[in-house]
Chains A and B, each alone.
Chain A
């Protein structure tokens, strides 16, 4: 699939998800506030997916030493930070009318915010390192260490039993959600995932150009001793 096709598909799916999310019946208890979940849940899902992809890209770079894996890890982290921020923001907007507060010290909220900061630190680290290979290796290693906390974030709702909504769809028994609402939610998840793929692909292209610029600027730098010409055997003195 070409980039342009993917981007058109992302835009179309996003529009469809928006229409579906706005036209399905309101939730019996939460009313229209529940519609925020059609953006919140997909964003939260993509936060996990993006950081999982960052970990996969990091491992793949360490195994293959190919910079495109590093670019994938970096691009996915950047887009992941955006979606994590969106998940936090939509969660707060939903929380105020439903829970009565913008923010609560629930374990999953706190750890999602922590994840946000972990990957901001990851991006800060990437910007601070000179040299493509050096940057790739160090950020890959930190990316893997940081990803170790994702399972802790995911299962924290079980471990700490906070205020946060327990899993609604991914339950061992039947999903506790009505059919049309579930469809709108899944539509949102699918659309956001395609948007994520389109953004990451575009960002990787940009990263390739940035890396090429770095390489080009390096190639243009004077090398120590470059002014010294090698003596040629048998050459006549001028």
Chain B
């Protein structure tokens, strides 16, 4: 459901900013990352089969550590966001025809971004579990914190386009991912208890 939503966004945006091919080729990667940020987080807010109270209680009784559950949910979300990125990326290439270079780097940046958004989304989903207005609150919690991820991703692809080094942006993404992983693992148990 989210992939068509993202695809529609990619289709609608040119109607707002103009349909010149050169302009769209130039800003296409940025639009792609904006769609990934704003719509990709929706993927992480899904309720999996293990989210219900009986399933949670069962996992607790089985002795499954909350940190392990965070890791498992984050990995599942990472895969889903990655699928979203690839699908929407293909649509962006078709619609905007950007000059895509540095496939090796892109293959590194995509999972780093997916992992960051997935971990952030998993934490936000835990924090907002059972709250009224969760649908609006979780994206509000995620979007501002995800800005470093957005900047890292956009600057990396822009660096590839102009032939500049992008290692520092990849490192920014990696550092943010590590921080979020630590935050997720360390907060998993207290969140579970609350």
Interface residue? A62 (CB, 8 A): yes
Interface residue? A33 (CB, 8 A): no
**Chain B 109-128 interface 0/1 with A at a Cβ cutoff of 8 Å (1 = within):** 00000000000000100011
Interface residue? A15 (CB, 8 A): no
Assembly CA distance A157 to B135 (angstroms) = 33
Please give me the residue from chain B that is nearest to A136 by CB atom: B194
Cβ contact within 8 Å between B145 and A118: yes
Distance in Å from the Cβ of A87 to the closest Cβ of chain B?
16
Query: Which of A129, A134, A146 has a CB less than 8 Å from the CB of B145?
Result: A146
Query: Which of B127, B145, B151, B172 has a CB less than 8 Å from the CB of A125?
Result: B127
**Chain A 110-146 interface 0/1 with B at a Cβ cutoff of 8 Å (1 = within):** 1100110110110011001100011001100110111
Interface residue? B165 (CB, 8 A): no
Cβ contact within 8 Å between B144 and A137: no
Q: How many residues of A contact B (CB 8 A)?
A: 28
User: A107-B151, A128-B132, A159-B172 are contacts. A144–B187 as well, Cβ < 8 Å?
Assistant: yes
Query: Which of B131, B148, B179, B191 has a CB less than 8 Å from the CB of A129?
Result: B131
Cβ contact within 8 Å between A137 and B140: no
User: A62-B190, A128-B137 are contacts. A138–B147 as well, Cβ < 8 Å?
Assistant: no
Cβ contact within 8 Å between A148 and B179: yes
Assembly CA distance A36 to B177 (angstroms) = 38
Assembly CA distance A148 to B172 (angstroms) = 13
Interface residue? A152 (CB, 8 A): yes
Assembly CA distance A149 to B150 (angstroms) = 13
Cβ contact within 8 Å between A114 and B144: yes
Interface residue? B25 (CB, 8 A): no
Cβ contact within 8 Å between A142 and B144: no
User: A145-B123, A160-B151 are contacts. A128–B140 as well, Cβ < 8 Å?
Assistant: no
User: A125-B137, A128-B137 are contacts. A145–B187 as well, Cβ < 8 Å?
Assistant: yes
Chain A 139-170 residues near chain B, CB threshold 8 A:
141-142, 144-146, 148-149, 152, 159-160
Residues of A within 8 A of B147 (CB): 110-111, 114, 149
Cβ contact within 8 Å between A121 and B187: no
Query: Which of A128, A144, A146, A152 has a CB less than 8 Å from the CB of B148?
Result: A152
Assembly CA distance A152 to B168 (angstroms) = 14
Q: Which of B140, B145, B179 gathers the greatest number of chain A CB atoms within 10 Å?
A: B145
Distance in Å from the Cβ of A222 to the closest Cβ of chain B?
22
Residues of B within 8 A of A159 (CB): 168, 172
Interface residue? B20 (CB, 8 A): no
User: A62-B190, A137-B194, A141-B191 are contacts. A121–B137 as well, Cβ < 8 Å?
Assistant: yes
Cβ contact within 8 Å between A144 and B151: no
Cβ contact within 8 Å between B187 and A125: no
Assembly CA distance A115 to B144 (angstroms) = 7
Interface residue? B141 (CB, 8 A): yes
Cβ contact within 8 Å between A141 and B190: yes
Residues of A within 8 A of B143 (CB): 117
Residues of B within 8 A of A134 (CB): 194
Q: List residues of chain A with CB under 8 Å of any chain B CB.
A: 62, 107, 110-111, 114-115, 117-118, 120-121, 124-125, 128-129, 133-134, 137-138, 141-142, 144-146, 148-149, 152, 159-160
A121-B137, A152-B148 known, 19 other contacts, Cβ within 8 Å: A114-B145, A117-B144, A118-B141, A120-B140, A121-B141, A121-B144, A128-B128, A128-B131, A128-B133, A137-B194, A138-B194, A141-B191, A141-B194, A142-B141, A144-B187, A145-B180, A145-B183, A148-B183, A149-B145
Query: What are the 3 closest A-B residue pairs judged by CB atoms, nearest first?
Result: A137-B194, A114-B144, A117-B144
What are 18 residue pairs bridging A and B, where the CB atoms are less than 8 Å apart in the complex? Answer: A62-B190, A114-B147, A117-B144, A118-B144, A118-B145, A125-B131, A128-B131, A138-B191, A141-B187, A141-B191, A142-B141, A144-B183, A145-B180, A145-B187, A146-B145, A148-B179, A152-B176, A160-B151
